[in-house]
Amino acid sequence: MTTPITLTVGAITLTFNKWEIGVDHGMLFQESDRQRRRHPDIDYSYYDEHPEEDPAQSETCFCRSLGSMLPRLELLGYTLATVKAEYEMQVTQDTERYDEDDGTPSPTRPERLEFAKFVEFIRRYPVSDLDDEYRPDNESGSEQWRARLAADPAVALLPQGDQDRDVDGYSERSHFGGLIGFLSPYSVLRVLAENPANLTLDVVWDYGNFVDAGWAKNEEFVAGARRAQTFLLATEGTSDTHILKRGLSLLRPDVEDFFRFIDIEERHPFSGTGNLAKFAEGLVKIDVQNRVVFVFDNDAEGADAYRSLQRFSFPVNMRSMLLPDLDQLRDFPARGPSGVVRTDINGRAAAIECYLDLRLAGRPEARVTWTNFKESMGIYQGSLDFKESYAKAFYEASVEAIATGTYDVRNLKTVLDALFATCCAMSTDILRRE
C-alpha cells in the first residue's frame, strides 16, 4: 500500500504529495466532510482474513461533492472569470514559448481554443462517462479510448502549459485529466462544474494512508475557511448582525464558516449609519489585511452613507454594499403627514427587518413611518413600525417552518445572494492580483 496524500475529483488526480503533507486543501471542506471511504489501494481481502485489524484510519479522508463545493470555490475566488483569465494566460504563454523555441513568425503560431470553446469541450465529456480502467498500450480496448479523444479537433488546440500532451495517461479518464492539467487544481474543479453531469463527482482529499503510516496526525488536517479567507461583515447595528448570522446558519450552512462578525456581545462598537461610515473611512485609510464588507440598510441614511463612500478608492480587500432593492417594497404602506400612502420604500426605509417575513398573526399589514428629511438627497428617511417584533419572529422561527415555507425567507435569501456575489467579486479581484 502506498502512502500519498492526494486531491482527486472523480478519480482524476489534481495534487499528489508522498513525503510531506503538501498543499493545504482544508478550506474546500467542512468538518462534516471528514469520513471513511472505501479506498482503491487497500487490500480488503487482508482485513477479511484478519478481522481483528481495522482499515478505518486508511479509509479516512475529506469528501464532498463538486456541486456542494462550488460555492466554496467561488468564495475563494475561483469564479469562471478567474478560470478564464488563467486560461488566457496559458494561451499567451504557449504563444511566447512557441516563438522563443523556433522563432516562427506570428501568422503561423499554433491556434488555441477560445475559452468558450474550451468550456464546450468540458461539457462534451462528463468525467463519469470516461473509461477509468487501467489498460496498457498493448491491451485490447486501449486504442478505443485513445482514439475517441484524439479524434476531437479541440484536443490539438488546447493550451499545453507545462504538460506533455504526448503522454496518454493510464486510462481515458486520467488522459482527460492530463489534457486539462495546464490549469491549477482549483480552476480544474471550477471549470469541471460547468458540466452539470460532473456536479455529483466526489472531490476527495485523501490523507488516511499517510496518517496510518505514521507520517502525520489526523489533527493536522483541518477543515474550514482559513482566517485570511474569511469575510468580516460590518453592519449598522446589532439586529443586522443577528439577522445575517442566523440567516447564514439556516440558509447557507455550506459556506457559513467564511463569514465573521464584529463582537457585539456587550454592545455594538459603532452602531448607526454614521458611525459605520466613519469606521469604513478609517479602515480605507490604513493597511488592513482583513477582507471586510460594510453592509448598509437600503434606507435614505444607508444609501447616503453608501454613496458618500464611493469617493474613496477602496483597497481590493474591502467592499461596501446596500441591501438590494425588492419589487415587494415598491408598493409598501407608509405613514406620513398625509396619512398612509402606498409607495416605493427602496432606498428610503428598507432596513434589514423589511427583508424578513412581515406576516404576523393577529397583526395588521406591515408599514413604515416617515421620520426625518434628508436634505442631501431630497427624500424622507423611514422606519419600519414594530420592527423588533418581526426580528423576534425570525429568531423564533423553527427550522421546519423555514423549510416548509410557513415562515418565508425568500427576501432574506436575496440579501444573502447579494452578499455572496459581493464577496466572490472581492476574492476574484484578490486572486487575479496575486
Give helix then strand counts, H and E, for the chain. Answer: 15, 15
Q: How many other CB atoms are there within 10 angstroms of residue 424's CB atom?
A: 20
pTM of the predicted model over 0.85:
yes
159: left (phi over 0), alpha (psi -120 to 50) or beta: beta
CB count, 10 Å around CB of 216?
Answer: 16
Task: Return the C-alpha torsion angle 73, 88, 163, 19, nearest 10.
Answer: -30
Give the model's pLDDT for residue 186: 98
Cell of 332: 409598501
Name the DSSP letter for residue 348: B
Give the separation between CA 197 and CA 172, rounded to whole angstroms: 17
Low-confidence ranges of the chain (pLDDT < 70): 1-2, 97-110, 135-146, 161-169, 263-272
Which pLDDT value is given to residue 262?
81
Q: Do 325 and 344 form a contact (C-beta atoms < 8 A)?
A: no
The pLDDT score that the predictor gives to residue 269 is 60
- Give the end-to-end CA distance of the chain in Å, rounded to a whole number: 38
d(CA 246, CA 263): 15
Contacting residues for 17 by C-beta, under 8 A, at least 6 apart: 4, 5, 6, 23
* Residues in a beta bridge with 335: 340, 369
> Are residues 353 and 391 in contact, defined by beta-carbon separation less than 8 angstroms?
yes
Q: Are 216 and 210 in contact (CB under 8 A)?
A: yes
Task: Sort 80 into a burial class: Cβ within 10 Å, 0-12 / 13-18 / 19+.
Answer: middle
Provide the pLDDT for residue 361. 86
Using the structure block, give the residue that is written with the C-alpha cell 462598537.
269
Query: What pLDDT is attached to residue 107?
Result: 47
d(CA 292, CA 124): 40
Among the listed residues 326, 300, 70, the one whose alpha carbon sits nearest the alpha carbon of residue 186 = 70
Parallel/antiparallel/unpaired status of strands 202-206 and 34-36: unpaired
Compute the distance between CA of residue 276 and CA of residue 261 in angstroms, rounded to an integer. 14
The strand pairing partners of 284, in sequence order, are: none
